[in-house]
Structure 1
């Protein structure tokens, strides 16, 4: 009987944690920021007939900042549901970094193939439901608001991005 009650309480506690997490967001992992630069990659294929065909596809070059510093303030609270308590956290995070001009030729990318007009900055955030305020970035002396999602950045599942 006691084992059943313990099991029931553990199950209810897990349900309460799930309920609170659904509103506050789950465990967070922040990835980046990363500068995502699309470019056109071309190659030549020789078909069985001997005819040469030029193919192309869009690829991404990903650059990390040369310098990056995060500063944050964490506030903790406890949410109570019945007899269960669940700790939650608020993080005010500020990041400062610097990207340098990427050396595209070192990567074998012809600068003429770079699609700078489609480049963007992406920040991976594992559970974006936890974002409570608009996120902004100062980029080249402009204030720009992040947009939801990470566009074509396939390295992370979710997050925010902006196109400068």
Structure 2
């Protein structure tokens, strides 16, 4: 992806309640991709039950420091919790990184009412999460929803 389009800095944001371990593994050694995942973890009790989903997995080799996990250890987190994560962690890191492209791996099972996610993010709040990202990367933001069956 970065090779074809000559991109040097890509931010992948994953706010689905499940950790995107496949995406993390693919880019774990690549400093061209900053992977930032907010997901349920519950001290390893929530699927996929991997220690690599915890905060200490920060990349390796040239990718060291380019992998951020925000493991949520309780359910019921809502708009204010996610805004705090964005304001205090994601946005400062993203502003320093200066991505040329942002890809949002957008699952919506953190939304209020989703029985699997057990979080309380209001559906309208997702726009508030996306809005500050549009000020980065010359507004080159792709929001992608992948459905696995």
Sort the TM-score into its range (normalised by shorter chain).
under 0.3
If you compute each CA radius of gyration, which structure gives the higher value, 1 or 2? 1
Q: TM-score when scaled to structure 1? A: 0.24
TM-score by length of structure 2 reads 0.25
More helix by share: 2
> Which structure features the higher share of strand residues?
1
